[in-house]
Amino acid sequence: MSANRETGKRTLVVESPCEARFLGRTLGEQLEGGEVILMAGSLGAGKTTMVQGIAVGLGIHEPVKSPSFVLERIYRGRLVLHHFDFYRLSQEEVIESGLLYDIEDSAVIAIEWPERAGEALPGWTLKINIEFHEVCLDPGQEKSMDKRKVTLESTTARWVKVIENIWKDRNENS
């Protein structure tokens, strides 16, 4: 596990999609509104899975689906969640779409493929990077494709503390 105290950066290994959703739920329970969460990772890494957990933490009971083909999905719970996927857009298309401009200040925004938005991105609260974490202990053993390396990063004092607490709880329960 790595750490960077100035930015509140921690890397965790999650063992399964269920554990990724649990981590997302833990984050979602801490949200107060107005947060912007940037979700990075390759195709199939688990960005939407993490957002599903965040939605549960926000008290959203409807199924959370990837917004890949519709660009945005809106869910209502304790707070409103705007879930974006910019995979199919260029920076210019994100700006022209106006998707990020008419969102209430109290909403939570989760953006998959934020690098596509470039300068159109609002200020972020939390960055989540998800990578495949292949582990193979024995030469004849199958690699586990369920494991993911999840890096959480924030420069906001409150979220640095949240990340530290998640990391501490995770280490105490391992």
Residue type, 85: D
Q: Is the pLDDT of residue 2 over 80?
A: no
Q: Which of 16-30, 31-45, 85-99, 156-170 has the lowest mean pLDDT?
A: 156-170
| CATH placement of domain 3-172 | 3.40.50.300
Beta strands in the chain (DSSP E): 3-4, 9-14, 36-41, 72-76, 80-85, 108-112, 126-132, 148-153
Q: pLDDT value at position 156? A: 86
Q: What is the pTM for the complete model shown?
A: 0.85
* pLDDT tens sequence across 60-115: 999 999 998 899 999 999 999 999 999 999 999 988 888 888 888 899 999 999 99
Give me the pLDDT at residue 52, please: 98
DSSP conformational letter for 64? P
